[in-house]
């Protein structure tokens, strides 16, 4: 699928000149910093050299004082506490963090992860009933609960208090919990709104330590878990998230918790982890527990303190991940066949597919794959407990949640955000919903959003790239949403030697410009260009710059995102 090349708007030239001079860096790099809101030496210093002292005061979060006071009361009285969280990476890391932290102060504590297949997402009646049967009087819910008004009311009727630690958008009315920690609530003045659920749990632990004059090490020990949640939940890696991710990666690479270390070992990589490595190696394995079996398995691994137990648990989760891959591949193939047979995509701007036998645990992955292939808002549905349950994925720039809101009368339940959501509906509503969803999206999406784009930070000459240039780029990491790895475009390049295909889909080549050195490059999924590129015929490339390590030898490599051949 052809991609649109979108060049970033130029930043203020005075700011660029100032940054280039004060930081002694290339003008192109200074321009990228300026585009990302960095306008002074001090802001650049804070960006390149984050400090944990930059973390915001947790008591700026609405209801934090209420949450700490209620926890203090529970601990003093020996009340039983339940740590409750979702079954995905953010939820399980949140639960592991909060359970491990508060276990330091009470033995009367346990955790609960809902069963994806039997209970579904969020606070469940079954979970509250479990708490009642166990004599639990305080539930701390993480990464869920902000819209569980009816469930919280039910808990209140049973004399069970709730503290909600969530990061999703609230509804019109907040649940009647003892405390609702969510920077996205309208009346919360917390300066950063984009924490992950585990980040909210981290702030709760930080607040407890501040209140009781405990060493920062008591909560900073969980930075690796917070970083994993930030990477997996695709939240913006700016402001507080950038600081947490920066130090979380340091901890993961230098002194990870026992469970994560075992999982890293089981992946065959145990050092030099980046955010990308976490997203593609650790996160899918942690997620696989909740998809194929139960999220408790992931929490159990994260809480391990003995190497052998951690190794055993991580190997078990690896097996679950292998099963997940097989299921994912099979369902994706079935969905593609269904689309082809039924001509679902003809003249449509959405994809909605359904099969009652598909595994509920992997339909979100399938929805992502279909969205990537066809580049349009996509919903994959299966049958669960008498209702159709679905996962929805969007394309960048289109608000999926708002589209579902316009279909709310046909849904039993839905929740999520702009880019991903979950939903349930009655079986008889699928046709009406599919038609309404298509109508809503068709009326609100623009044609350009249905074509993938590559956002280009700067045009540069290949001769600008050297070791110093790359070292400065590397210091912009960790990369992620709102702080992606810089993408450059270079024009009038030619290849040296002959391009060739590696694997079945990837293009390997060497390129140069006039007066530049020769650069090795790889284009993942660009094998078609092996026969399209001609000797001495110039073309343009957009790419990121990375270090390729082979047999402990490091060299610069261009990771080509797209190629345009000059007419």
Contact 138, 163 (CB under 8 A): yes
Contacts of 332 (CB under 8 A, 6+ apart): 365, 366, 369, 370
Q: Which residue's structure tokens are 């694997």?
A: 503
In this structure, are residues 317 and 295 in contact, taking their beta carbons and an 8 Å threshold? no
* Cα–Cα dist 564/224, whole Å: 41
Q: Provide the pLDDT for residue 121.
A: 80
The answer to whether the beta carbons of residues 360 and 116 sit under 8 Å apart is: yes
DSSP 385-405: TTEEEEEEE--TT--HHHHHH
Q: What per-residue confidence (pLDDT) applies to 345?
A: 65
* Burial category of 510 from C-beta neighbours within 10 Å (exposed 0-12, middle 13-18, buried 19 and up): middle
> Mind listing the pLDDT tens digit of every residue in the chain (567 residues)?
678 899 988 889 999 999 999 999 999 999 999 999 999 999 999 999 999 999 999 999 999 999 999 999 999 999 999 999 999 999 999 999 999 999 999 999 999 999 887 888 889 999 999 999 999 999 999 999 999 999 999 999 999 999 999 999 898 999 999 999 999 999 999 999 999 999 999 999 999 999 999 999 999 999 999 999 999 988 999 999 999 999 999 999 999 999 999 999 998 887 889 999 999 999 999 999 988 888 899 999 999 999 999 999 999 999 999 999 999 999 999 999 998 877 666 778 999 999 999 999 899 999 999 999 999 999 999 998 899 999 999 998 899 999 999 999 999 988 877 888 899 999 999 999 999 999 999 999 999 999 999 999 999 999 999 989 999 999 999 999 899 999 999 999 999 999 999 988 999 999 999 888 999 999 999 999 999 999 999 999 999 999 887 767 778 999 999 999 976
| Helical packing angle, 467-474 and 27-35, nearest 10° | 10
Comparing CA positions, the residue from 4, 57, 58, 9 lying closest to residue 37 is 9
183/304 Cα distance (integer angstroms): 31
Predicted pLDDT at 68? 98
Q: How far apart are CA 28 and CA 552, in angstroms?
A: 30
Query: What sign does the CA torsion over 424, 427, 429, 430 have?
Result: positive
Nearest residue to 263 (alpha-carbon basis) of 247, 245, 287, 296: 287
Token pair recorded at residue 502: 């590696």
Q: How far apart are CA 12 and CA 95, in angstroms?
A: 45
What are the backbone dihedrals phi and psi of residue 120, each rounded to the nearest 5 degrees, phi first? 80, -170
pTM of the model: 0.91
In the prediction, which pLDDT does 231 show?
A: 95
- 531: three-class secondary structure by DSSP: coil
- Residue 135 · residue 152 · CB < 8 Å: no
Give all domains of the chain, ordered by start, each with its CATH number.
4-49+454-565 (2.40.50.460), 58-255 (3.90.1640.30), 343-450 (3.10.310.30)
Which residues have C-beta within 8 Å of that of residue 368, sequence separation ≥ 6? 393
Contact, 332 vs 370, CB < 8 A?
yes
């Amino acid at each position: 699928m052809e991609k649109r090349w979108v060049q970033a708007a130029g930043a203020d030239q005075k700011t660029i000149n100032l940054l280039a001079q004060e930081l002694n860096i290339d003008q192109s790099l200074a321009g990228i910093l300026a585009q990302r809101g960095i306008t002074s030496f001090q802001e650049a210093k804070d960006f390149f050299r984050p400090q944990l002292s930059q973390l915001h005061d947790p008591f700026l979060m609405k209801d934090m004082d209420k949450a700490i006071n209620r926890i203090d009361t529970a601990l003093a009285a020996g009340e039983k506490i339940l740590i409750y969280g979702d079954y995905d990476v953010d939820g399980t890391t949140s639960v592991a963090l909060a359970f491990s932290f508060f276990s330091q102060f009470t033995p009367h504590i346990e955790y609960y992860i809902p069963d994806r297949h039997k209970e579904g997402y969020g606070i469940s009646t079954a979970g509250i009933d479990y708490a009642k049967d166990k004599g639990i009087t305080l539930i701390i819910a993480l990464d869920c609960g902000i819209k569980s008004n009816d469930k919280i009311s039910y808990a209140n009727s049973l004399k069970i208090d709730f503290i909600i630690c969530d990061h999703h958008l609230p509804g019109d009315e907040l649940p009647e919990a003892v405390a609702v920690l969510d920077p996205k609530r309208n009346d919360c003045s917390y300066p950063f709104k984009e924490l992950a659920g585990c980040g909210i749990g981290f702030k709760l632990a930080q607040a407890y330590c501040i209140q009781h004059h405990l060493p920062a090490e008591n909560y900073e020990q969980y930075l690796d878990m917070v970083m994993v949640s930030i990477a997996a939940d695709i939240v913006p890696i700016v402001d507080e998230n950038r600081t947490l991710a920066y130090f979380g990666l340091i901890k993961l690479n230098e002194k990870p918790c026992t469970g994560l270390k075992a999982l890293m070992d089981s992946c065959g990589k145990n050092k030099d982890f980046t955010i990308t490595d976490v997203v593609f190696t650790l996160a899918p394995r942690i997620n696989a527990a909740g998809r194929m079996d139960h999220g408790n398995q992931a929490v159990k691994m994260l809480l391990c303190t003995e190497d052998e137990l951690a190794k055993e648990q991580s190997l078990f989760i690896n097996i679950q991940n292998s099963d997940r891959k097989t299921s994912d591949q099979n369902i994706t193939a079935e969905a593609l066949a269904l689309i082809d047979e039924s001509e679902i995509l003809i003249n449509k701007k959405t994809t909605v597919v359904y099969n009652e036998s598909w595994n509920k645990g992997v339909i979100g992955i399938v929805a992502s794959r279909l969205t990537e292939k066809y580049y349009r808002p996509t919903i994959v549905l299966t049958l669960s407990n008498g209702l159709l349950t679905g996962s929805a994925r969007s394309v960048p720039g289109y608000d999926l949640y708002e589209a579902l809101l316009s279909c709310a009368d046909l849904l039993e339940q839905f929740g999520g955000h702009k880019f991903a959501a979950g939903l349930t509906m009655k079986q008889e509503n699928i046709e009406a919903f599919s038609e309404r969803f298509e109508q809503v999206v068709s009326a609100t999406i623009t044609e350009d959003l249905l074509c993938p784009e590559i956002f280009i930070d700067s045009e540069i000459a290949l001769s600008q790239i050297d070791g110093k240039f790359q070292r400065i780029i590397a210091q912009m990491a960790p990369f992620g949403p709102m702080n992606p790895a810089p993408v450059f475009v270079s024009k009038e390049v030619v290849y040296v030697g002959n391009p060739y295909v590696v694997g079945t889909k990837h293009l390997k080549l060497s390129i140069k410009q006039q007066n530049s050195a020769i650069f090795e490059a790889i284009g993942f999924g660009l094998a078609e260009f092996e026969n399209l590129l001609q000797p001495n015929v110039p073309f343009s490339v957009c790419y990121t710059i990375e270090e390729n390590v082979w047999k402990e030898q490091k060299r610069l490599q261009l990771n080509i995102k797209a190629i345009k051949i000059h007419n």
